[in-house]
Chains A and B, each alone.
Chain A
Amino acid sequence: MAPPVVKLLSSRWDDPNSHTLDSYRDAGGYVALRKALTSTPTELHDLVKRATLLGRGGAGFPAGIKWGFTPPGKFPRYLVVNGDESEVGTYKDRPLMEREPHQLIEGCIIACYAAGLSQCFLYVRGEMALAQERIAGALNEAYAAGFIGKDILGSNFSVDICLHWGAGAYIVGEETALIESLEGNRGMPRLKPPYFPAAIGLYGQPTIVNNIETLSNLPWLINNGVDAYKQYGSETSPGTRLFAISGHVNRPGIYEVQQGITTFRDLIYDDEFCQGIRGGRELKMFIPGGGSAPWFFPEHVDLPLEARPVGAAGSMLGSGAIVIMDDTVDAVAACLRIVRFFAGESCGKCTPCREGTSWLETILRRILDGQGRPEDIDALMDIGDNISPGPYPAASFEAEGLAAVPFPPKQTTICPLGPSAVAPIVSTVRRFRHEFEAKITRRRSIPVTSLSVGGSPLEAATHA
């Protein structure tokens, strides 16, 4: 039985006018801002820390801690809002921007007040025209009503929000690449350290980069308090989270669920959510946290939606994107599709990623086309090892006696894009090596199956 559904962020998504100021105010909008301004910034910052508001962009870092990383006495500090949602399978920031732009704006203003951030840049993915229109309209309304700009609600707190938009580059979702892009440059990640732009970010100044969903939580949190927030979810992952479940389920969709206590099984099979695999077929594999995440298999569905156990099991919750694949899916074809993405989106700054991802794609393509060579599987793993050395995170595989390798991967690159391309390869080769071998040795596809076959029965069959 899945835990009860609680909607803190998405309760008004079905209202066709939810993006307007009137509608938002009717629902209690901007009361949280008024309330926030009666507290000191320090008190608010402390409240966000106590709530353990985890970042919803992928890394899951606590927002309150992140805000505290800005060096004292160095101003101005900036807020950059990451609305460049483009991770494969991820679809939850876009509806928050299109349908609840005022909730997001209110969250941005509160964050600026609490963390002492003097200007906010709201970076929206270029391809999201409607989100840009809705946010532009909402900002214009909020300025006219005195919620943003100079002397907000008669206080001495002043901040501008500048709507900025991208032009199509996945890598810009990486926070230092986002900052480069916002400075008008090619969106290439910056060399670390510093590991957080909180020290040196936009224009060399202290900068906080927060995700859309993270900031959208603030109005509810301020209105209802830490205790109310923490009654949902688990001790270490309080509150709710939006998950987009796509692929071969009966009812794909975005579901807001309590973090930590809901499981993958609840999401995939419960009547409240996806209602099982389409046509009553079998689950073959699933991606638990976006294209960058190592894959899980049927025996992993009882894991809770909580960062620590999922990480220990060899993957990550990432950006709340779950892709379900049934037993009709060709593992090599699915693997190639994700690898193709990272090869295409590599910014080219680091050699192991720029060269490696392209080679991975080339080799996978020829295997799929029936032109594979016997050494190709080893070559895939070797190239992967050059991008991400050592044992790569992977789910357990009991039939083969393989234990889980915990997340995260190591990397020879500046950012995690390169290592992400290795995730589908290690996941599928470890589990469905026989599908790769069949394509190489028999030079054609075999009927795919959800069963995890140990060893290589096809090889045996070929030699029989």
Chain B
Amino acid sequence: MARFAPDTLATALEIISRYPVPKSAVIPLCHLAQEQDGWLTPEAMTHIAELVGVESAEVLGTASFYEMLKLEPVGRYLVNICTQLPCMLLGADELLEHAAHTLGIHPGQTTADGVFTLEGAECQAACTEAPCLQVNYRYFHRVTHDEVDQIVADLRATGRTTVPTKSGDTGDIPPHGTLARIRQHIPADTRAGNALPNRNIEPAWLSPPEPAANTTGGS
């Protein structure tokens, strides 16, 4: 099931419809494929290429540039431990080493049961909350070694963890590939519509000397 299933395909078409040029949807569709399959399969890339009207090699060309798009299977939980300078100053290297020991793998590897992949990561924009890590891009701030062990044990057992994230995220971690669980949806009757390039149309609100807003504003 590496091409898009019918319901996923409907989502894919909706995403494409939000762009004036379909190819712009390539990266969001690659994420959608990962949400379906856990990683980005060659079949999914072919399907994406068909949908946006490019060659599949172009999709691969784009996908292979980006860190998050996984061209090989990864674990159900991708643990990214930030080791960039602000986190390094507060013990990130030791945290990564500890996690590797707990999981019994080196950074870059996946556990034999396919549950965890461990990676050392670059800056995650949580620098004041160091050391930090992400599990499937859900943040955990100011993480201790014991908390890493607990997160691993909890996720292996139940798929959610009671370890406080201290980040605004919940400990409810969807499988790898699922990013936002809330999607943008624009009802057809409220859409302004795509602004197509090369159609030199001046925006309506710029052209009239008296903006229509004057009749409704100030309320």
Contacts and interface: CB of A to CB of B under 8 A. Distances in A.
Interface stretch (B5-13, B100-108, B152-160, B209-217): B209-217
Interface stretch (A176-184, A361-369, A397-405, A415-423): A176-184
A261 interface: no
Nearest to A188: B65
Contacts of B54: 184
B134 interface: yes
Contacts of A149: 186, 190-192
Nearest to A127: B137
Nearest to B128: A252
B200 A74 contact: yes
Contacts of A162: 18-19, 184
A37 B198 CA distance: 27
B197 A164 contact: no
Interface string A151-167: 00111111110111111
Interface string B182-210: 11111101111111111111111110100
Interface in A45-77: 73-76
A76 B203 contact: yes
B128 A167 contact: no
B192 A159 contact: yes
Interface in A114-146: 116-119, 125-130, 132-134, 136-137, 139-140, 143-144, 146
A163 B219 CA distance: 29
Nearest to A203: B197
A133 B169 CA distance: 11
A306 interface: no
Nearest to A140: B185
A462 interface: no
Given A37-B217, A126-B179, A291 B127 contact: no
Contacts of B181: 133
A181 B30 CA distance: 13
A251 B205 CA distance: 48
Given A150-B191, A160-B191, A167-B68, A205 B197 contact: yes
Contacts of B88: 334, 337
Most chain A beta-carbon contacts within 10 A, residue among B26, B186, B194 = B186
A156 B62 contact: no
A244 B197 contact: no
B216 A130 contact: no
A78 B125 CA distance: 27
Nearest to A187: B65
A301 to B, nearest CB: 18
A342 to B, nearest CB: 10
Contact of A157 (B19, B122, B128, B204): B204
A123 to B, nearest CB: 10
A169 B65 contact: yes
B211 to A, nearest CB: 6
A86 B216 contact: no
Given A38-B213, A153-B216, A165-B28, A129 B137 contact: yes
A5 B198 CA distance: 48
A184 B187 contact: no
A394 interface: no
Contact of B66 (A93, A129, A163, A168): A168
A169 B139 CA distance: 18
Q: Give the size category of A's interface with B.
A: 35 or more
Contacts of B127: 88-91, 244, 246, 252, 321, 323
Contact of A86 (B28, B90, B123): B123
Given A158-B204, A245-B128, A139 B184 contact: yes
B96 interface: no
A300 B64 CA distance: 43
Contact of B211 (A40, A129, A144, A160): A40
A128 B125 contact: yes
Interface in B26-46: 26-28, 30-31
Nearest to A255: B128
A246 B195 contact: no
B128 A136 contact: no
B66 A119 contact: no
A253 B128 CA distance: 5
Interface in A222-241: none
A170 B122 contact: yes
A94 interface: yes
B128 A116 contact: no
Given A127-B137, A132-B179, A162-B19, A183 B123 contact: no
Contacts of A341: 84-85, 122-123
Interface of A: 34-35, 37-38, 40-41, 73-76, 78, 85-91, 93-94, 98-99, 113, 116-119, 125-130, 132-134, 136-137, 139-140, 143-144, 146, 148-150, 153-160, 162-170, 181-187, 202-205, 244-248, 252-254, 287, 291, 321, 323, 325, 329, 334, 337-338, 341, 344-345, 347
17 contacts: A37-B217, A118-B195, A130-B169, A153-B213, A155-B211, A163-B184, A164-B24, A181-B27, A182-B24, A184-B23, A184-B24, A184-B27, A244-B127, A247-B85, A248-B89, A334-B85, A341-B122
Closest 9 A-B residue pairs measured CB to CB?
A168-B67, A38-B217, A167-B66, A118-B195, A184-B26, A158-B192, A76-B195, A203-B197, A246-B86
